[in-house]
């Protein structure tokens, strides 16, 4: 394990140089990894593990769209694809990758197959951190571990196929066997992590829920809408408003930030852009800091978790979600976005 120092704060990290893939394979050579759920994280993690040479099976509800997706991805019913209960029975490591609401519903089935010495693996700290609300309380004689890729399962898979890695956090909630560290790190390397940084289940879920509602999705979507509406209200065309709000950010500026940081991006923009951005940055921070503080408090006290549990467990949740997404999809801004994306040179080249 290495240590990174950030201005006096040390963090424990594990890199692929310290824990290479061959060591990960050896660590888990006698394990059967049962990936339960084939929705958001399941496909990327399961396929990466399989391609990396681990013994993987998938557990999913039969005759569902995700079961059919697993079949289309090459998982064979009765050989590497099983109903959830059968996969839990066979697995020595159960990767619990269902949605948070589904984890609550399926927990009684999973728990009865968590026999002594097995490992229960999560990619989100929700179920364990809010166990009083979820009812997910593992037996004391199993390892309880977490690897949380910092991105979607789709990104995890794409980056793996490009010979790149997506950074992940790791945590150990319960080390019953004495081998939890080697197990969790081997799994983190196996699913395609770039490097692994240490956290706890609670810190993972607090940061994750804040990030999703904040800069990763909620805040950025709200800021997009606000700027687009101001530009449109002042007579700018949909194409101009979208390009100045979304397209330039995602296609030009964020890749520069990803390469070398925000200061480097500033240094590679015009002096007019630099000055204006630096002058206005403080105003946006002052405006949003109270919102982020409120958001974190709502996450920490469990209110956000309870809202998710209550809403996502409703039988008509999917119908309501589709209605909300349809409103987004059919809004003028994102209709403009669809048109703009279709005019990108690489898209046109593919179509030809």
- 236 an active-site residue? no
Residues 47, 51, 52: CA angle, nearest 5 degrees: 115
pLDDT over threshold 60, residue 348 = no
Q: In terms of CATH architecture, what is 2-198? A: 3-Layer(aba) Sandwich (3.40)
302: alpha, beta or left? (left if phi > 0; alpha if psi -120 to 50) = left
Q: Could you tell me if 60 and 38 are in contact, meaning their C-beta atoms sit under 8 angstroms apart?
A: yes
pLDDT over threshold 90, residue 33 = yes
104 Cβ contact list (under 8 Å, min separation 6): 127, 134, 135, 136, 309, 313
Q: Which two tokens stand for residue 132?
A: 């009083």
HEC assignment per residue over 98-137: CCHHHHHHHHHHHHCCCCCCCEEEECCCHHHHCHHHHCCC
Nearest-angstrom CA–CA distance, 212 and 300: 14
Q: What is the pLDDT of residues 303-320, one digit of tens each?
A: 999 999 999 888 898 899
SS3 (DSSP) at 150? coil
Nearest-angstrom CA–CA distance, 97 and 110: 12
Q: If pLDDT is split at 50, 70 and 90, which confidence band does 347 have? A: low
10 Å CB burial of residue 257 (0-12, 13-18, 19+) is middle
DSSP string, 165-205: -EEEEEEEEE-SSS-HHHHHHHHHHHTTEEEEEE--HHHHH
Q: What is the pLDDT of residues 175-216, one digit of tens each?
A: 999 999 999 999 999 999 989 999 999 999 999 999 999 999
Specify the pLDDT at position 227. 97
Range(s) of the chain covered by CATH 1.10.1040.10: 211-351
Q: If pLDDT is split at 50, 70 and 90, which confidence band does 346 have? A: low
Q: In terms of CATH architecture, what is 211-351? A: Orthogonal Bundle (1.10)
Q: What is the pLDDT of residues 58-74, one digit of tens each?
A: 999 998 999 999 999 99
Mean pLDDT taken over the chain: 93
Range(s) of the chain covered by CATH 3.40.50.720: 2-198
pLDDT over threshold 50, residue 50 = yes
Q: What is the pLDDT of residues 92-127, one digit of tens each?
A: 999 999 999 899 999 999 999 999 999 999 999 999
Q: If pLDDT is split at 50, 70 and 90, which confidence band does 352 have? A: very low
- What is the percent of the chain where pLDDT is above 90? 85
User: Which of the residues 124, 157, 213, 232 is marked catalytic?
Assistant: 124
């Amino acid at each position: 394990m290495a240590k990174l120092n950030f201005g006096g704060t040390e963090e424990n990290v594990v890199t692929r140089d310290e824990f290479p893939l061959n060591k990960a394979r050896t660590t888990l050579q006698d394990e059967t990894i049962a990936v339960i759920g084939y929705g958001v994280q399941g496909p990327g993690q399961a396929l990466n593990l399989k391609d990396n040479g681990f013994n993987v099976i998938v557990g999913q509800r039969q005759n569902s769209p995700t079961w059919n997706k697993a079949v289309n991805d090459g998982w064979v019913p009765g050989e590497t694809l099983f109903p959830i209960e059968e996969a839990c029975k066979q697995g020595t490591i159960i990767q619990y990758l269902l949605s948070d609401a589904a984890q609550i519903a399926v927990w009684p089935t999973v728990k009865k197959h968590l026999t002594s010495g097995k490992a229960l693996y999560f990619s989100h700290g929700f179920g364990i951190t809010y166990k009083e609300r979820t009812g997910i309380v593992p037996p004391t004689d199993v390892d309880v571990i977490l690897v949380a890729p910092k991105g979607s399962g789709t990104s995890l898979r794409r980056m793996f196929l490009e010979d790149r890695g997506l950074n992940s956090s790791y945590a150990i909630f319960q080390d019953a066997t004495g081998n939890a560290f080697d197990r969790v790190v081997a799994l983190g390397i196996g699913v395609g992590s770039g490097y692994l940084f240490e956290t706890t289940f609670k810190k993972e879920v607090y940061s994750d829920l804040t990030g999703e509602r904040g800069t990763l999705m909620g805040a950025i979507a709200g800021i997009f809408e606000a700027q687009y509406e101001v530009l449109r209200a002042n007579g700018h065309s949909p194409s101009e408003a979208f390009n100045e709000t979304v397209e330039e950010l995602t296609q030009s500026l964020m890749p520069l930030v990803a390469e070398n940081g925000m200061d480097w991006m500033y240094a590679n923009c015009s002096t007019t852009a630099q000055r204006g951005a630096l002058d206005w940055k403080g105003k946006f921070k002052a405006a949003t800091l109270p919102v982020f503080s409120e958001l974190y408090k709502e996450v920490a006290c469990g209110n956000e978790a309870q809202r998710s549990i209550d809403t996502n467990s409703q039988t008509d949740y999917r119908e309501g979600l589709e209605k909300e997404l349809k409103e987004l999809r059919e809004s003028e801004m994102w209709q403009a976005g669809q048109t703009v994306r279709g005019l990108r040179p690489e898209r046109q080249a593919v179509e030809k």
